[in-house]
Amino acid sequence: MREVAVIGVGLTKVGHLFSESLRSLFSRAIRGALEDAGNPKIEALYVGNMSAGQFNNQENIAALLSDFAGLNGIPATRIEEGCGSGAAAIYNGYKAVASGVHDFVVVGGVEKMMDTTANDATSIISTVTDQEYEAFLGLSLVGINAMVMRLYMNTFNVDREPFAKFSVQMHENASKNPYAQFPFKISLDKAMNSNPVADPIHLMDCAPLGDGAAALVLCPKEYAKDFTSKPVEIIGAGHGMDNFIFHTRDDFLSLKAIRDAAREAYRMAGITPDEVDVVELHDAFSITAFLSIEDLGFVEKGAAGQLVDEGLIGLDGTLSVNPSGGLKARGHPIGATGVYQMAEIVLQLRGEAGARQVPGAEIGLTNNISGFGASSYVHILRV
């Protein structure tokens, strides 16, 4: 297996981008990544996308996006794994380079979610959970998260305030991110008293709908120095799975898929959780963030709130969490989220994150999940 590095990053701002199409967003991100990488000759394209068929009435998008990104004639593959589609595309691109099948690949993620109504978008997103047994009976993704959040609060004697503080920190970080959908700060009072969505989840516990695209260029580490003075190596990669149907799981307060993916990534990287400086994790809801912090091994079960309360997740904290603003404030264009996460870590490790730069960051981790932890990808990077 060859060592793999990221040599190029391209991003679009996340938002309600009504003047953009699926293809124009993706093409802009690809052009940015190729320019950043010094325009190597690309041999394959991997596209993370959840649901262009329902959001945009367009399938066969790997071929479409390859054409419009100017990458005609190379193998192009669309990867769909729900909310984890972006990280799944990275995982496949990584394996293609590590195995020697390809030398230079582009991994992109894109979602155009705002060209439909909010009700239709919510219905489309719900397809990442079981439709035959759970959704049929009225259990939505937010409903699952709400039940787990209530169970977590009761089990560990935690009130809503630490969850609200997490959202405040995400907006603080996003206020420094030019790519963020919501680049502004919010008060604790606003987070605590935002409209209820599904008790105990409030609006400020939830990631928004949004459009966006992100892209990366991957190549063997041995070639990277020919194209950039700041290659960032992918030193660990893990993929974990759990029961798809939520109510069949053994433990509702722990995401097995994250634990398994993290264990494999840490083993491959040869590090422990306390060596990670910065993490981009999947905070589609604030409870998902708490479970992720714990299942990635950063704190014990039930202790994520204490980490937040003590102010240890900020840009200068002992563990900087989501300096981009996370899904909550950077935005969550679903198929692109995993790629946005890795792009942020690459910028952090290259020291190019501007006002949101984590001081001295050398090792970063990304965690992208699908549904409520049906699958999970963990990637670890080092400068």
| C-alpha distance across the termini of the chain, in Å | 19
119: pLDDT strictly greater than 90: no
- The residue among 224, 178, 167, 199 whose CA lies nearest residue 383 is 224
Cα 234 to Cα 351: distance, rounded to the nearest angstrom:
17
C-alpha pair distances (Å), 269 with each of 64, 194, 260, 297:
36, 41, 14, 15
Helix, strand, coil shares of the chain as percentages rounded to 5? 40, 20, 40
pLDDT score recorded for residue 135: 82
Q: What is the pLDDT of residue 4?
A: 98
Q: Is the pLDDT of residue 134 over 90?
A: no
Look at residue 177 in the predicted model and tell me its pLDDT.
98
For residue 136, what pLDDT band results from cuts at 50, 70 and 90? Answer: confident
Which helix (H) or strand (E) segment is 220 a member of? strand 212-220
Can you name the CATH fold of 158-206+235-382?
A: Peroxisomal Thiolase; Chain A, domain 1 (3.40.47)
The pLDDT tens digits of the residues spanning 276-305 come to 999 999 999 999 999 999 999 999 999 999
Tell me the C-alpha distance between 166 and 171, whole Å. Answer: 9
pLDDT for residue 121: 87
**Is a pLDDT exceeding 90 seen at residue 315?**
yes
Query: Region 199-207: what's the mean pLDDT?
Result: 97
pLDDT at res. 126:
87
Distance CA 318, CA 111 (A): 33
Q: Residue 27 carries which DSSP code?
A: H
Q: What is the tens place of the pLDDT at every residue in 144-162?
A: 999 999 999 999 999 999 9
* Angle, alpha carbons 135-329-183 (nearest 5°): 150
Decide if pLDDT at 31 tops 90: yes
Work out the average pLDDT over 209-231. 95
Which pTM value belongs to this model?
A: 0.97
Task: Report CA 131 to chain centroid distance, whole Å.
Answer: 24
Written as six digits, the tokens of 85 are 């589609």
pLDDT at 123: 87
- Contact (Cβ atoms closer than 8 angstroms) between residue 292 and residue 283: yes
Check pLDDT > 90 for residue 137.
no
Q: What is the DSSP string of 47-115?
A: EE-S-HHHHSS---HHHHHHHHTT-TTS-EEEE-BTBTHHHHHHHHHHHHHHTTS-SSEEEEEEE--SS
Does residue 133 have a pLDDT over 90? no
| Residue 189: DSSP 8-state | H
Instruction: Give yes or no for a contact between 326 and 206, defined as CB atoms under 8 angstroms apart.
Output: no
Length of the chain: 383
Instruction: For residue 184, count other CB atoms closer than 10 A to its CB.
Output: 10
* Residue among 227, 225, 214 nearest 42 (CA): 227
pLDDT digits (tens, 9 = 90+) for 38-54: 999 999 999 999 999 99
> Tell me, what's the pLDDT at 290?
98
Residue 138: the pLDDT is 82
Q: Mean pLDDT check: name the lowest of 28-37, 129-138, 144-153.
A: 129-138
The C-alpha angle 116, 61, 344, rounded to 5 degrees, equals 80
> What pLDDT is stored for residue 358 in this prediction?
97
Task: State the catalytic residues.
Answer: 83, 332
What are the tens digits of pLDDT across the range 71-118? 999 999 999 999 999 999 999 999 999 999 999 999 999 999 999 888
Retrieve residue 56's tokens. Answer: 């945009």
